[in-house]
Amino acid sequence: PGDSTDPGLAGEVVRVPASEVIHVIDPVEGGQLRGVSKLAPAIVKLFLLDQYDDAELDRKKVAAMYAMFVTSPAPENPLASPEDEDGAGGLEIRPGQVVRLDPGEDVTVGQPADSGGTYEPFQYRTLLQISAALGIPYPYLANDMVKGNFSNSRLALIEFRRRVSAWQHSVMVWQLCRPVYARWMDAAVLSGALTLPGYEANRARLLAADWLPTKWDWVDPLKDANAEIAQIEAGLKSRTQAIAERGYDAEQVDREIAAEHARERALGLDFRRPGSPAQGVQAMPVEGIDPDQTDQTDDAQDHPREEEDQP
């Protein structure tokens, strides 16, 4: 708003009340009123690196423009302009062309200087400093997965995700998501689109919500799933917490699982693999078969009559 480069808004200024503006900042000290850009610690490095890349690209571009150099003998009249000499000017080259040279002329193919062995190390060290200033792992900043292995990449990723999770819940959810959700709820109730009896008296309770960000995916999900199952079985983590970390609501997931099990029983389906935890679920009786009759048959097979044991 108010951008002078937009012809439709040139010179137009609109005052917006402070209550209508959400100022999202990541404070680093108490009482801070204005935020600082995340790029501030690395902005100088980024600017200089961009200039260096442009200069290196221009140098290579200029060097690549000279394909050949033609060396001619000294002219008979040194004071004559080059236009007066025969054959002066550039030489157009085509693939497979045969060119006759004048006596004494020589052709040298241009060999532009390489960037040398310092270009890539300089780029790498500069990007490392920028990644440290921004708090972003180098492989994700430069999209370069060659220099890392699984162990150090996972270690850096865990630390990065911990910082991102803290920023999500402490900054984005608290400063942006909650005010937007409260404004949406107020507008929905006032417009009659949503009916909530006692909303004014219980507004704080009705605005309570769980904020579940998107789940972080891992390279080896099988090992992480087994570790999570072990934590749940050991009582170190609840299913609600595990499901919330995946970005879902535990109550909704339980309702979906119960509905699927009911539908599977109604259709006679069983997708449980042998040895899975789902095998421990009590089996449901099958229609048309008397459970008492089945139990008597099993007892007869397990305990044969005494007459059959006699010789």
0.85 surpassed by pTM: no
Higher pLDDT, 292 or 103: 103
From the list 205, 206, 204, 187, the residue with the least C-alpha distance to 196 is 206
- Rounded (5°) CA angle 273-275-278: 65
109 three-class SS: strand
Task: Render pLDDT for 232-291 as a digit per residue (tens, 0 to 9).
Answer: 999 999 999 999 888 888 999 999 999 999 999 899 888 877 766 555 544 444 454 454
- What per-residue confidence (pLDDT) applies to 309? 46
- What per-residue confidence (pLDDT) applies to 301? 47
- What per-residue confidence (pLDDT) applies to 253? 93
Q: Which residues of 33-52 are buried (b: 16+ CB within 10 A; e: fewer)?
A: eeeeeeeeebeebeeebeee
Once rounded to an integer, what is the mean pLDDT over residues 111-136?
85
- What per-residue confidence (pLDDT) applies to 283? 45
Task: Render pLDDT for 151-207 as a digit per residue (tens, 0 to 9).
Answer: 888 888 888 988 999 999 889 999 999 999 999 999 999 999 988 899 989 999 999
- What per-residue confidence (pLDDT) applies to 300? 47
Q: How many CA atoms lie within 13 A of 240 on its CB side?
A: 2
- What per-residue confidence (pLDDT) applies to 255? 94
The two tokens of residue 248 are: 């879902």
CB 72, CB 102: distance < 8 Å: yes
Task: Render pLDDT for 37-69 as a digit per residue (tens, 0 to 9).
Answer: 888 999 999 999 999 999 888 888 887 777 777
Task: Render pLDDT for 166-176 as a digit per residue (tens, 0 to 9).
Answer: 999 889 999 99
